[in-house]
């Protein structure tokens, strides 16, 4: 079986799990009216797109990466503070220290990295989070990898779900994991105006549920 075929089979299995809302290690229950899986090309954009497999099942984006990738809704508009970005992430496959999470304040996302600008908020399987900014080929660390008790760590086979949220105002951005604030960063240290989406490291299989990028004051 070719590598591409293996990746396609694995992605199909992830789509079924996402559509059915079934956690690994639990008994599968009958599902009624599970949403059909559809290609994500029309709903989401990815850069790079080569080597990245995407599908949509209901409100879930199912991603399997080769290279590290940024993704954003094709219909998403640019946001200016105040706004909130949130989603629930569940890593199905991938090494412990591969990060994944939210990006925001993005511009030039569909071009080469030299022209991209965005901020990003990642977590990884050992229970740490990171805040960084991309400014072309530079990626300055805003808050380095930090252990956080609110994060669900990887189990023996897969990651447990983590809800990530960024609340952006003109003054700062507050970062939340599973409802707990883990960092607050002054606006001057970040890119805040632009597109919002997802960033994930290489060789990761990920389900992203309920992605929202909502303008207005954080609630």
CATH of the domain at 15: 2.60.120.560
- Whole-number mean pLDDT of the chain? 86
Q: How confident is the model at residue 160, as a pLDDT?
A: 84
Q: How confident is the model at residue 39, as a pLDDT?
A: 60
- Mean pLDDT along residues 14-22: 50
% of the chain residues with pLDDT over 90: 75
Quickly state the pLDDT bin for 137 (edges 50, 70, 90).
very high
Q: What is the pTM assigned to this prediction?
A: 0.84
- Mean pLDDT along residues 163-186: 98
* pLDDT > 90? residue 28: no
Q: How many domains does the chain have?
A: 1
The three-point CA angle 125-62-163 to 5° equals 45
Q: What is the pLDDT of residues 68-100, one digit of tens each?
A: 999 999 999 999 999 999 999 999 999 999 999
Q: Which residues contact 215 (CB under 8 A, 6 or more apart)?
A: 79, 80, 82, 83
Distances (CA, A) of 200 to 2, 29, 216: 24, 30, 26
Quickly state the pLDDT bin for 35 (edges 50, 70, 90).
very low
Quickly state the pLDDT bin for 1 (edges 50, 70, 90).
very low
- Mean pLDDT along residues 29-34: 37
Which domain, by its residues, includes 120?
3-215
Question: Which of residues 174 and 9 earns the better pLDDT score?
Answer: 174
* pLDDT > 70? residue 63: yes
* pLDDT > 90? residue 58: no
- Mean pLDDT along residues 175-192: 98
Q: How confident is the model at residue 155, as a pLDDT?
A: 83
Q: How confident is the model at residue 7, as a pLDDT?
A: 52
* pLDDT > 90? residue 212: yes
Q: How confident is the model at residue 11, as a pLDDT?
A: 52
């Amino acid at each position: 079986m070719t590598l591409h075929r293996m990746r396609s089979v694995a992605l199909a299995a992830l789509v079924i799990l996402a559509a059915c809302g079934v956690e690994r290690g639990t008994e599968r229950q009958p599902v009624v009216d599970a949403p059909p899986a559809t290609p994500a090309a029309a709903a989401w954009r990815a850069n790079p797109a080569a080597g990245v497999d995407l599908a949509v099942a209901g409100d879930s984006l199912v991603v399997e990466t080769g290279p590290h990738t940024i993704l954003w809704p094709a219909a998403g508009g640019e946001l200016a503070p105040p706004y909130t970005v949130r989603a629930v992430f569940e890593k199905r496959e991938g090494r412990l220290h591969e990060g994944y999470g939210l990006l925001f304040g993005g511009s030039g996302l569909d071009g080469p990295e030299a022209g991209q600008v965005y901020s990003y908020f990642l977590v990884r399987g050992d229970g740490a989070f990171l805040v960084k900014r991309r400014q072309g080929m530079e990626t300055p660390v805003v808050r380095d990898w930090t252990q956080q008790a609110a994060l669900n760590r990887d189990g023996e086979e897969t990651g447990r779900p983590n809800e990530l949220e960024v609340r952006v105002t003109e003054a700062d951005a507050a970062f939340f994991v599973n409802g707990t604030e883990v960092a607050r960063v002054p606006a001057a240290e970040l890119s805040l105006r632009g597109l919002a989406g997802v960033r994930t490291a290489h060789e990761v299989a990920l389900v992203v549920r309920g992605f929202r990028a909502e303008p207005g004051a954080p609630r």
